[in-house]
Structure formats: C-alpha cells, structure tokens
C-alpha cells in the first residue's frame, strides 16, 4: 500500500469508535514479540495537560543526549505527528510498512481493532525497531483500559482530574481518578499534579498498594512565582530535597509551568539512575520545547490565537488567562466542539471574553452540529453567527477584524487543526471565499 492507501485503511477503522480494553492490543503486541516491553517508557495520563507534559519530558530527555520516541494524540495536521523520534515524524514509507504488517497480523489473528489501537501498536513497533532510549507515551483516554497501559513505565505521571469522557470513564471525579490511577505499576514512581485532597487519596492508596513512591505537586515539589516574560514565562521549582531552580519555558499559561514542573520531577527521578540527565539539560529542554495549538499566537494585527481547549476546565483556564493578560478591542471567537462536551457551559465562559461568537463545525463524525447550538443558546446581546466550514469562518473573522482585535479559535483539537491548515506561515487566511455574503445567519 502507498501512503494514501495506508491512511485510508487506518481511517476505515474510525467507524469502530472508541473501545476501551487491552485484549486485542495485547494479542497483537505478543504476535510482534512484545515491543512495548523492550523500550524504557514514561507513561502520562490525566484530563488536561498530558500532551504538553509529554512534550516537556521528551525535550528534556532529548537535550540529555537521548534518542526519544514521543506518542501523543490527537494530531493537528497529519497522523504521522502522533509518532515521532527526536521530534521527527514517522516517515510515510515506514508508516506504510507498519500499516501493512499490522493489517496482515489482524487478518491472521482474526482481530478487529480500533484506530487508536492500531496507532498504539505502530508506535510501539516503530520505537522498538528504531532502538529509542526512551518512549514518552500519552494515554488516549482514561488509563486502566487504554491501549498504552500495556507498557511498564519507568515513571508514571498523572497531570490532573476533571470531568471529561464521562460516558466511558465514570460520572464523577472519583470514578475517573480510579481509571487513570490504574497506570500506576509496581515499583515505578508516580508524579502527580492533582491538588484535590479527595482525589489525591485515591492516588495515594493506589501507590501504596503497588509499592510505588508518589510525588505530588504542592507536597513533595512546588511550582512558584510564575511570571510572564516576553519569550513565555518563568517559574521557580523546589522539591523536598531543597533543590531550587528558576526555569523558563516558551509556552504561556500558569498551567504550563505546572506541567513543566511535573516533567522536572519526572526527570529528577530518572536522574537517580541516569547521570546524563543534568540540570543544564533540564533547563535546555524546557527552554526549547515546542508544542503547537496551545495559546499559539500565529499572527498579529489582528492577533490570532489557536488553543485546543476542549473541555470545561481547559476553557475556564484559557479564558481567565486571556482576560487577565491580553489587551484587545474586540474578541471574535470561532468555536467548534465535539458532541460529548458540556458545550453550553463552555460557551458561557467564552462569551465572557468574546464580543462576537462564530459557531463552526469540524469535519468529524464526533463533532456537534453547530447550527443546532443556536437553538439552545439563551438570548445574548452579543452577535452570534453560524458558519459551518472552519476555513470560511476564520476568513470571515479575520476579514472583519481591526488590527487591535483578537481572533480566538478553540473548542476542539479538530477545530484548531482545520484552522491551522487554512492559514499560511504568517497567519493569513488561504481560503478563497465564494461570491456573496461573508457570514452565515446571525443571532
């Protein structure tokens, strides 16, 4: 199969939806000789910040001189982003090779696998074949039954817990926490960013059962004095060994400083058996990290920000940060969201900073019909428009904005992905508008 054919095969697995479980992935990995057990791994779960934390850990390990695999999801532009070695995407040729190998194996074993199971097996195979020193693995959903949970991690990280994917993980925070706590495995240490004492107790009990030492933010280590600087932000890291440090990162938002602190704590644990990880490599890794779609400013005049906030907690954080740290005349927000999200509550926070809301819709079977949201929204004194196609919606927002305005694209990874693909390197829209009105029906 060539690359388009291989990609079409992968996409044909999407209608199988989300299926949590380890049986089929385990059978496939055993067929290939258990590649997931032959590479040292760092395993990351949590509701928000998993990808950013993974990027920080990867960057530190790479700055330490290691060959590092990175597996994250979803992707913004191309599937191959999900599987990287030293931040180089898996090649089309290698993708096709493993796609054919996995397809043949599933046929021979008479297995039915999902898109995510396929991707996870490919990542494990690629990292083992390329002899990476470490693989940094982000869970797709939950933890206990996530396909990545077949790894035996050197260190596990749980970023935080909030309500998301409740139909799969549980209707309350405790149930979700128990699912994510299942990545804790004896005797690997655990780094945790959650601050809720009730939820922390679940992690403490699970760690005790597994003889795994638990290091918690604001208990064993601290992220303090977070300051905005022109190139991002700086913060102080301090742990119980009285190891202080002032660090800089290029990503904005205080939550990113906390994610970076989780990565520091993780790498300090690895450092106990690995002298190549130094304070200098930690600093370099944090300072040079790259992670798109997170408060990403892609142009000025007007300012265009892309942010993958896709659940209530991340929208709260993002809108609060923008309100406190950005000056603008008017804010126009493009909002496209998945069906399983609390979109009306998310819109409440977005309207708090927005002067104009444009409802739009990603090209995904999981996306919510944007036009239907109009019928559910209460009356607002702010204009609310509907433009289904994201490139057209972004073109419209930029066209009607003044230089001192802010255009925000948010609500889903898929929304940000389509927006990124419709702008050039300077943040200008590449969309060729049809003849006629710029906007759709307004409220």
Q: Is the pLDDT of residue 16 over 80?
A: no
CATH 3.90.190.20 domain range(s) in the chain: 296-420
CA 150 to each of CA 34, 41, 51, 75, 256: distance values in angstroms, whole numbers, following the listed order: 10, 11, 19, 22, 28
**Residue 245: pLDDT band by 50, 70, 90 thresholds?**
confident
Q: What is the mean pLDDT of residues 92-104?
A: 97
**Residue 436: pLDDT band by 50, 70, 90 thresholds?**
low
pLDDT for 169 equals 60
Q: Is the pLDDT of residue 440 over 70?
A: no
Q: What is the mean pLDDT of residues 97-106?
A: 97
**Alpha-carbon torsion, ordered 25, 142, 37, 194, to 10 deg:** 180
d(CA 272, CA 277): 9
Taking Cα atoms as reference points, which of 202, 264, 253 lies closest to residue 60?
Answer: 264
Domain 296-420, CATH 3.90.190.20 — does that match?
Answer: yes
Q: What is the mean pLDDT of residues 353-361?
A: 97
DSSP string, 201-259: HHHHHHHHHTT--EEEBTTTEEEEEEEEETTEEEEEEEETT--EEEEEES--SHHHHHH
pLDDT for 170 equals 54
Q: Is the dihedral of CA 268, 272, 273, 277 positive or negative?
A: positive
pLDDT for 256 equals 97
Counting residues of the chain whose pLDDT is more than 90, the rounded percentage is 83
d(CA 381, CA 324): 23
pLDDT for 441 equals 46
Q: Is the pLDDT of residue 361 over 50?
A: yes
CATH 3.40.1190.10 domain range(s) in the chain: 3-287
First-to-last C-alpha distance (Å) of the chain: 48
- 189-240 tens-digit pLDDT: 999 999 999 999 999 999 999 999 999 999 999 999 999 998 899 999 999 8
Q: Is the pLDDT of residue 275 over 90?
A: no
Q: Is the pLDDT of residue 103 over 60?
A: yes
DSSP string, 30-57: HHTT-GGGSSEEEEEE-SSSHHHHHHHH
Ramachandran assignment for 119, one of left (phi > 0), alpha (psi -120 to 50 degrees), beta (any other)? alpha
Lowest model confidence (mean pLDDT) among 84-88, 399-403, 437-441: 437-441
Q: Which CATH class is domain 3-287?
A: alpha beta
Burial class (CB in 10 A: 0-12, 13-18, 19+), 121: buried
Q: What is the mean pLDDT of residues 310-324?
A: 95
**Residue 171: pLDDT band by 50, 70, 90 thresholds?**
low
Residue 384, SS3? strand
d(CA 139, CA 154): 15
Q: Between 171 and 72, where is the model more confident? A: 72
- 226 — phi, psi (to 5°)? -75, 125
């Amino acid at each position: 199969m060539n690359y388009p054919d291989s990609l079409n095969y992968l996409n044909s697995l999407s209608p199988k939806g989300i299926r949590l479980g380890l049986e089929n992935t385990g059978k496939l990995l055993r067929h290939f000789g258990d590649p997931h057990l032959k590479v040292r791994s760092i395993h990351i779960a949590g509701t928000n910040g998993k990808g950013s934390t993974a990027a920080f850990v990867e960057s530190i390990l790479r700055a330490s001189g290691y060959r590092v695999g990175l597996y994250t999801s979803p992707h913004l532009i191309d599937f191959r982003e999900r599987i990287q070695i030293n931040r180089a995407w898996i090649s089309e040729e290698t993708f096709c090779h493993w796609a054919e190998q996995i397809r043949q194996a599933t046929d021979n074993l008479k297995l039915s696998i999902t898109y995510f199971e396929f991707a996870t097996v490919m990542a494990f195979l690629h990292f083992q074949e390329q002899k990476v020193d470490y693989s940094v693995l982000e869970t797709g959903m939950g933890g206990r039954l996530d396909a990545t949970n077949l790894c035996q991690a050197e260190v596990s990280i749980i970023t935080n817990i909030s309500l998301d994917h409740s139909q799969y993980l549980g209707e309350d925070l405790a149930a979700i926490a128990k699912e994510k706590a299942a990545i804790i495995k004896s005797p690997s240490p655990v780094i945790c960013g959650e601050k809720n004492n009730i939820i922390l107790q679940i992690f403490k009990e699970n760690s005790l059962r597994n003889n795994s030492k638990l290091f918690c933010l604001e208990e064993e280590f601290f992220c303090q004095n977070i300051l905005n600087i022109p190139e991002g932000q700086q913060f102080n890291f301090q742990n119980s060994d009285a190891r202080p440090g002032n660090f800089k990162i290029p990503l904005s938002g205080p939550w990113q400083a906390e994610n970076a602190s989780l990565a520091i704590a993780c790498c300090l644990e690895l450092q106990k058996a690995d002298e190549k990880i130094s304070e200098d490599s930690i600093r370099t890794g944090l300072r040079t990290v790259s992670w798109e779609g997170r408060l990403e400013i892609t142009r000025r005049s007007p300012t265009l920000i892309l942010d993958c906030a896709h659940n209530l907690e991340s929208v709260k954080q993002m809108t609060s940060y923008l309100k406190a740290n950005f000056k603008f005349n008017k804010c126009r927000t493009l909002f496209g969201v998945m069906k399983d999200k609390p979109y009306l509550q998310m819109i409440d926070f977005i309207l708090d900073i927005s002067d104009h809301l444009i409802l739009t819709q990603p090209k995904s079977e999981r996306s919510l019909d944007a036009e239907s949201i109009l019928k559910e929204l209460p009356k607002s004194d702010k204009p609310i428009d509907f433009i289904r196609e994201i490139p057209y919606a972004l073109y419209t927002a930029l066209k009607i904005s003044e230089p001192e305005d802010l255009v925000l694209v948010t609500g889903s990874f898929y929304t940000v992905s389509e927006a990124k693909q419709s702008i050039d390197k300077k943040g200008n829209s590449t969309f060729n508008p049809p003849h006629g009105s710029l906007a759709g029906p307004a409220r």
